[in-house]
């Protein structure tokens, strides 16, 4: 594209290779053969022979899976641990007849779980 021109010139198409069955029997050898051509464009497309069917790796008769709902906040195990910890503290305060009030430190909510871990690493509260 010329610097002063507003006309868009599309990039050249990538090379497309269509190996024969004889060439396709050794895929890595075929790739090594076309590599110098494909490297010039940085990309290429290889179309297998038309009647080629990829092998299916799953045994359909024995394959089973159980779908499950996974909430985004449960993806990280540490988050689950923190939520369980806060849940236990909230239940404790509820049993005491009060509600849990998490303090703010420097305009940020105090991470009670991390505080608890640090206290335990330093020998506990005793």
Residue 61 located in a structural domain? no
pLDDT at 68: 76
CATH code for the domain in which residue 115 is found? 1.10.150.60
Burial string for 75-89 (b: 16+ CB within 10 Å, else e) reads eeeeeeebeeeeeee
Q: Full-prediction pTM beyond 0.75?
A: no
Q: Are 41 and 77 contained in the same domain?
A: no
Residue 63 located in a structural domain? no
Q: Summarize the confidence of residues 54-75 as an average pLDDT.
A: 75
Other C-beta atoms within 10 Å of 117: how many?
Answer: 14
**Residue pair 48/24 in contact by the 8 Å Cβ criterion:** yes
Q: Where in the sequence is the domain holding 45, given as residue range(s)? A: 16-50
Give residue 7's pLDDT band: very low, low, confident or very high (50, 70, 90).
confident
Residue 58 located in a structural domain? no
Residue 5 located in a structural domain? no
Compute the distance between CA of residue 75 and CA of residue 81 in angstroms, rounded to an integer.
11
Compute the distance between CA of residue 123 and CA of residue 126 in angstroms, rounded to an integer.
8
Q: Are 83 and 44 contained in the same domain?
A: no
- Number of domains within the chain: 2
What is the average pLDDT value for the chain, to the nearest integer? 84
């Amino acid at each position: 594209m010329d610097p002063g021109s507003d006309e868009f010139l599309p990039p050249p198409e990538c090379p497309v290779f269509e190996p024969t069955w004889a060439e396709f029997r050794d895929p890595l050898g075929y790739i090594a053969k076309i590599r110098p051509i494909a490297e010039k464009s940085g990309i290429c497309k290889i179309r297998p022979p038309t009647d080629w069917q990829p092998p299916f790796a799953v045994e359909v008769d024995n394959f089973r899976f159980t779908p499950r709902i996974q909430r985004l906040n449960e993806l990280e195990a540490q988050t689950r641990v923190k939520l369980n910890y806060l849940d236990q503290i909230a239940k404790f305060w509820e049993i005491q007849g009060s509600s849990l009030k998490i303090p703010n430190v420097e305009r940020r909510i105090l991470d009670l779980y991390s505080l608890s871990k640090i206290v335990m690493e330093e020998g506990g509260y005793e």
